[in-house]
């Protein structure tokens, strides 16, 4: 099973190489336009980052569990942005 560190690195690579801004990444994966990323939308993000099938489902669930401060079982823009900022600052 992929480690948390490896998964986060894959996400960081996807976001930094495929999107000009975190806002564009959020909008791209927010397929239904409800201003939230659901577990399935996060799973799509993880798959785009190269995280495979079952692991992407588990990782998406864990991401929501750890990042969803509003407890609505989705990530809003603020929660996503805070996570992306922390992820990107790890490299510095």
User: What is the count of structural domains for the chain?
Assistant: 1
pLDDT score for 2? 74
pLDDT value, residue 84: 95
- Please give the model's pTM, rounded to 2 decimal places: 0.91
Tens of pLDDT, residue by residue over 59-82, are 999 999 999 999 999 999 999 999
Percent of the chain with pLDDT over 70: 97
Domain membership of residue 70 as a residue range: 4-89
The CATH code of the domain that includes 10 is 1.10.238.10
| Three-state helix/strand/coil letters over the chain | CCCHHHHHHHHHHHHHHHCCCHHHHHHHHCCCCCCEECHHHHHHHHHHCCCCHHHHHHHHHHHHHHHCCCCCCCEEHHHHHHHHHHHHHCCC
Q: Which pLDDT does position 90 carry in this prediction?
A: 78
């Amino acid at each position: 099973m992929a480690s948390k560190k490896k998964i986060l690195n894959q996400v960081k690579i996807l976001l930094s190489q495929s999107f000009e801004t975190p806002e564009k990444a959020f909008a791209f994966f927010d397929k239904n336009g409800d201003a939230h990323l659901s577990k399935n939308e996060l799973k799509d993000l993880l798959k785009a980052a190269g995280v495979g099938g079952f692991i992407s489902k588990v990782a998406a669930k864990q991401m929501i569990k750890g990042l969803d401060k509003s407890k609505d079982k989705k990530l809003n823009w603020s929660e996503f942005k805070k996570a992306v900022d922390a992820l990107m600052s790890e490299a510095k």
